[in-house]
Chains A and B, each alone.
Chain A
Amino acid sequence: MGATPEIAVIDDLINKRLDELLPQKLESLLQAREDSKTPSMAIIATRGTLDWAYPPFILGSTAAALGWDVSIFFTFYGLNLLKKDVSDLKVSPLGNPGMPMKMPFGPQWFKGINWNIPNLIQAGVPGFETVATALMQKTIANNGVATIEELRSLSQEADVKFIACQMTVELFGFSHDDFISGVDYAGAATFLPVAQTADVALFM
């Protein structure tokens, strides 16, 4: 049985009115949901050098300070960033042409010189990396930049979640005792759902 002509007219009016009202209503509902949602970030940290130790901890601690939920998943060489002692993290200028080689001491003109040292020498001179790392550490201290240890503990204090990849822990022959406390051990299946709902997901 079809609708009577009167009902058809009413339906038509309702539909027209709904078309006008719904978009506004939805817009404000979505906006309210957006405003009340805690932003979240998921980072994968894969590098284990002094320079690459900074991005995950700087972004992680800062996002936490902004009130975001943060998870950092450490895998492969990134596991080094969770070791109890991170004072042995190194930086290598070898094959890293973007890295300025400047001295952190002496007069200003001397500090300004960018020492262009050929890869062959960097690779051949024993201890070159150790010297470059010591210079970098000095530069970091001179500039009031936090140490990795400091940023890491600030991150933990601010409830940044640290998840270590259990597969790489075993692959590299580490044990949980090698790492700081407060770390969860899990796999890709744990990380992916976290990343799925994160507003920001970064691979480092």
Chain B
Amino acid sequence: MNFDKELDARGLNCPLPILRAKKALAEMQTGQVLKIISTDPGSVKDFVAFAKQTGNELLSSGENNKEFEFFMKRK
């Protein structure tokens, strides 16, 4: 999937991946896509909730070799 910015949240734990993602999205334009890589298993549910609350769209969420990958579109 195409993306405009990448956030490496590997090794970070709750709530840092969410806080970093929020910061990254704030610096982006509407419609741009942020790719997030995390190793925190809790972030899978947290990014769904984050998207629902903030209105930024979670385009996809997947696991690859114990790493989680999210694509989020800026509101």
Q: How many residues of B contact A (CB 8 A)?
A: 16
Q: A58 contacts the other chain (Cβ, under 8 Å)?
A: yes
- B54 touching A146 by the CB < 8 A rule? no
Q: B19 contacts the other chain (Cβ, under 8 Å)?
A: yes
Q: For the complex, what is the distance from the CA of A66 to the CA of B49, rounded to whole Å?
A: 9
Number of A-B contacts (CB under 8 A): 37
Q: B53 contacts the other chain (Cβ, under 8 Å)?
A: yes
- A62 touching B18 by the CB < 8 A rule? yes
Shortest distance between the CB of B17 and any CB in chain A (Å): 10
Quick one: which of B41-73 are within 8 Å of A by CB?
49-50, 53-54
Shortest distance between the CB of A55 and any CB in chain B (Å): 11
List A residues at the B interface (Cβ < 8 Å).
58, 61-62, 65-67, 143-146, 151, 154, 158
Contacts A/B (CB < 8 Å), 13 sampled: A61-B15, A62-B18, A65-B15, A65-B21, A65-B54, A143-B13, A144-B12, A144-B16, A144-B40, A145-B13, A146-B15, A154-B19, A158-B22
